Amino acid sequence: MWPASNTFRVIMMLLEICCKCGFVHKSDQIQVGGVPYRGYKPHYHWHPVGGALEKDGVKLHATICVACCGEVVNWKEFYEYKAKTPEKYRVKWSLNAPLPEHYLEYAGALYAEQAKYYEFE
């Protein structure tokens, strides 16, 4: 049955793939036991310049593994930024945090390259 307003909300599917190593952090397209796949590896998110790539109802989130940001994981920095995530955006058991500004240029260039060539299947 359609809503009374004859409108409905289109749900954008999310895809989170590290823009450096290609690790899949989350995919609404892949179901495991009826639940969207979520990889449990610490990673950062940010809003890329020009916005995230959206194609065929799928949004490619700007995502990079914490380990891909340097030679050694800075756990102190990761958990400090994780604590900065507003409560309404926190996902239980998720290992994500906002990207620290000093990685923005590096990660932004990697995401731009990923978005330029990425093909949704």
In a domain, 67, yes or no: yes
Distance of CA 117 to the CA centre of its chain: 17
Identify the domain containing residue 69 by its residue range: 13-107
* Number of domains comprising the chain: 1
In a domain, 53, yes or no: yes
In a domain, 5, yes or no: no
- Per the prediction, the chain carries an average pLDDT of 83
Say what the pTM is.
Answer: 0.80
In a domain, 102, yes or no: yes
H or E element in which residue 82 lies:
helix 75-83
In this prediction, residue 11 carries a pLDDT of: 61
* β partners of residue 46: 62
In a domain, 36, yes or no: yes
> Which of the two residues, 29 and 111, has the higher pLDDT score?
111
In a domain, 119, yes or no: no
Residue 94 near residue 44, CB atoms below 8 Å: no
- 40-93: per-residue pLDDT in tens? 899 999 999 888 888 888 889 899 999 999 889 999 999 999 998 888 777 777
What's the number of CA atoms in the CB half-sphere (13 Å) around residue 65?
17
Confidence band (pLDDT; 50, 70, 90) for 3? very low
In a domain, 120, yes or no: no
